[in-house]
Amino acid sequence: MVEVLAVASGKGGTGKTTATLALGMGLAEEYDVTVVDTDTGMANLLFHAGLADVPVTLQDLLVGEGDHPVSEAVYHRFGMDIVPCGTSLEAFRDADPSRLQDVIATLAERTDVLLLDSPATLGSRDAVLPIVIADRIVLVVQPTIPAITDGLKVQEYATAYGTDVAGLVFNKVHDPEEVSHITDRAGEYVSGPVLGAVPMDEAAREARKAGTPLLAHAPDSPAGSAFASIASALDIEAADPDRVADRFRNAVIPDAP
């Protein structure tokens, strides 16, 4: 069994990477989870997970002549497998984004849940790839009209290519009452359910500074507890891993909108 979920937002600064790792740790209570940083242009998951100094990353799998097997870029941390992406500009220029399909296909054969930390915007062909090949997307937005609008653009693009919406997460919430009002309106436009709201929490910033996922750094913090509840609310829709892997390898990736 496997399901591939792309965690997306439509803009930067929403806390998408924090959310990806938190959901990964929450789901790892029940499933084998693999988290992949597919933001090859602006990777930062490695800093959130204390993996800044690892020898092999996703970038190394996308350049050269296939010198590294996928397994060399997989690191077991915090109860899950993590595939970080490097930050070398030279490697980014030399990377072949089409190889990401084979990497994801290989990973899908050996895990229950594959979480893709997607690029913030849909500005290039490699940026839309995680959205298109995922089974479903989890939208992470702040409770403002501009942020929700950007998230809805991602939803529109995803659903146009057959990717469903697992749900919406409101992150960095200052005023719970404001979220309650916006939730009612968002429900009219978002294809999936509102999974929950995560309060603005200093613990999240401290976790980033410590290079540790929030649920490892401060699991009982308000934000940590909220993410744990959201993870438990996600219903995983498993599929045959061989069929999923074959679909990834043969997917036709469109150009960016």
Residue positions counted in the chain: 257
pTM of the model: 0.92
Question: Each residue's pLDDT tens digit in the chain (257 positions)?
Answer: 789 999 999 888 899 999 999 999 999 999 999 999 998 888 999 999 999 999 999 999 988 766 789 999 999 999 999 999 988 877 777 777 778 888 998 998 899 999 999 988 766 666 788 888 899 999 999 988 888 888 888 998 888 888 999 999 999 998 877 777 776 666 677 888 889 999 999 999 999 999 999 999 999 999 999 999 999 999 998 766 666 667 767 666 666 55
182: phi then psi, degrees, rounded to nearest 5:
-70, -35
As a whole number of angstroms, the distance between CA 106 and CA 62 comes to 13
What pLDDT is recorded for position 126? 66
- Alpha-helical (H) ranges within the chain are 16-27, 45-48, 58-62, 89-94, 99-108, 125-133, 145-160, 176-186, 202-210, 214-217, 222-233, 241-250
Task: Judge: domain 3-246, CATH 3.40.630.40.
Answer: no
Contact 203, 217 (CB under 8 A): yes
Per-residue model confidence (pLDDT) at position 252: 63
Residue burial 230-250, b: 16+ Cβ < 10 Å; e: rest: bbeebebeeeebeebbebbee
